[in-house]
Amino acid sequence: MRISRKYAFVAAAAGVLLSVSAVGGAQAQNGDPAPRYQPEMVRALAASLGVTEDAAEQRLDQQDAQQARLAGLAKSGIPADGAFFDAAGKLTVNTDSAAAAEKVERAGLTARVPSRGQAELGRIKAKLDTLAAKRVPTGVASWGVDLASDTVTVEVNSDRGPAAKAFLAEAGKYGSAVKVVRGRQELVPQAVIYPGSRMTFNGYICSVGYGAHDRNGKEYLVTAGHCVEDLPVLSYDNVRFARATHTRFALGSRSVDMGVAAIDAGNSVATSVGTWGNSSPVAVSGSRRAASGAALCKSGQTTGWTCGTVGSYNVSVTYTDQHGGPDTVVTGLASSTVCTEGGDSGGAYISGNQAQGMTSGGPTGQQCTGGVNSRGSSYFQPLDDALSYYGLTLNTN
């Protein structure tokens, strides 16, 4: 199957990446300056946040400007211990001293000296990961660093099992550094049997993610690891286009939900991707990680285009296998308020014009209603981690 670079895996493809065009001074055909952001992205974000389109565009401008200042701080050697956006879109930077906080404030950002901070919370979370690796804490849905609350947040579905009790007892030893939230739904990876699917393998379905290449120019698809657990042949429109080569996901084992597939000669994954009927294809310009609280959208074959915000990074979850298999602990994910459903796995997250990651999973039985502004939650595998691990470079437009 020959698929041109211009059209392969765009509007009709499963789980294609959503993006904002990088305009860089480009001119529209009528001579007017091209918009800074894809209009459909602005409308989607406005609907998701419940604000006007002008306010949504200002939010994206402010978000980019603040993250650029943060990057400048790092280059100038000013230490930061994590950063996050609040609900109003203001970036707060963690620092380790009043002197460092003053430098951050002079750069035009909000600073705080937290009681713990990202590094200390990361160490606590790592100890909980070690405990979970020895015994899967079935009933504990997820645990991860929440910078805004300065805690490791543990979400619990059920604490009746002995492994969950032991996990929570260990978490309780850290006192106020750990926050337990109860009443969460079980989580599952979101690959489901689906007739007439987009990206199919062995009777299952996932969503197409990102194209990337290695140092020799070999082309790969970067996707969720559980989509390619058995290293299957992948098909698009019932025709083979790739074969999985590596995955870090294994049912019942401590896993990371990233994997890659070698794309067959003559095929390609487009760098301009579709908006599920909302507009013409848009371009991806990079994979710079967005801070917690940043606005983002995702594209997946089941729910299309849905938007929300980044939650936390370095989150671990317990996935329950709906087919009766063992539970699986997955580490290294990011959480979000983006709504997803089964079959969205592997689909792409985008913030501004920067690719962020691939859908990993979400609550069982979650239904995304209301289109773009559907309320919900999901977890995604950060793209930058996958690219780094496999030594790949994202294909950009």
From 64, 81, 150, 226, the catalytic residue: 226
Q: State the helix-helix crossing angle for 118-134 and 162-172, rounded to 10 degrees.
A: 150
Q: Kindly give, in sequence order, each residue whose CB lies less than 8 Å from that of residue 344, ignoring residues fewer than 6 positions away.
A: 15, 190, 207, 298, 300, 301, 302, 303, 359, 362, 378
Angle at 221 between CA 301 and CA 217, to 5 degrees: 150
Q: Does residue 226 carry a catalytic annotation?
A: yes
Q: Does residue 345 carry a catalytic annotation?
A: yes
From 48, 285, 287, 345, the catalytic residue: 345
Q: Does residue 213 carry a catalytic annotation?
A: no
From 81, 146, 257, 385, the catalytic residue: 257
What is the set of active-site residues?
226, 257, 345
